[in-house]
Amino acid sequence: MMGPKALCLMIFCALMAWHMHTTFSADYEEPWKIMFIHFLEKICEITASVLENLGIMSYWEFYNIITKGYITQPTSDENITVKETKINDILVRYYVPKRNSHKLKRGMIYFHGGSPKFAKIALLPYETFARRAANRLDAVVLAPDYQQSSKYHSQTQWNDVSDFVKSLLHPETLAKYGVDPTRVCITGDSAGATITAALTQQE
């Protein structure tokens, strides 16, 4: 005999499988990895909503708790020197490749994604991306904690970000980080991609 708990779990798994099957086409690399990560994300979303609806904690409180375990320190490794600094009151974590250190390098300004309620550059997925990009591209990656630095959002945050990029793009500032001013790109994911798109269309 199947207990009601087992039945619920089966229905839940079947619904999840159906959801993932309908959401994804097989036309990308490592489909199982992506499905697994998506599955975990869905579980978190559902748990956060359930906890909020039960009045136990707010949606974002839950995210803050589960992401606490993924906060990293600015730690250098065999390939990359990682440091933090402040530019215009915005905390910036930057990644400098150790090889060819005598030459000016390409520069990449990276705006991470995620909600300002919990996302920061120190979180493992953003940190991993920045570190790998620096290593693979042999580029200095400068990743501002732009969401945390501004108490207000929309216009104020936009002005802060825009001023930050202008300060950073000064040739003397770039030289301080070993960046060749003729080879700088700006990139971002999700919320950071919106910022990137807006910046690149600014006069």
Binding positions for ligand NAG, rule: CB under 6 A: 77-79, 135
Smallest gap from residue 30 Cβ to ligand NAG (A)? 18
Q: How far is the CB of 188 from ligand NAG (least distance, A)?
A: 23
Among residues 199, 178, 19, 26, which one has the least CA distance to residue 106? 178
Closer CB to ligand NAG, 86 or 136, in the complex: 136
- From the list 52, 69, 50, the residue with the least C-alpha distance to 61 is 52
Of 42, 1, 2, 3, which Cα lies nearest the Cα of 19?
Answer: 42
Smallest gap from residue 79 Cβ to ligand NAG (A): 4
DSSP summary character for residue 72: -
Nearest-approach distance from CB 72 to ligand NAG, in angstroms: 13
Task: Please report the DSSP string for 95-153 in residue order.
Answer: EEESTTTTS-EEEEEEE--S-TTT--TTBHHHHHHHHHHHHHHTEEEEEE-HHHH-SS-
Q: Between residues 82 and 165, which has the closer beta carbon with respect to ligand NAG?
A: 82
Q: Which is nearer to ligand NAG, 79 or 173 (CB)?
A: 79
Burial of 91 (0-12, 13-18, 19+ CB in 10 A): middle
State the nearest-atom distance from the C-beta of 128 to ligand NAG, in Å.
Answer: 10
Nearer to ligand NAG among residue 79 and residue 88 (C-beta): 79
Alpha helix (H) residue ranges in the chain? 4-23, 31-53, 59-68, 124-137, 146-149, 155-168, 171-176, 191-200
Nearest residue (CB) to ligand NAG, 91 versus 137: 137
Residue nearest to ligand NAG (CB): 79
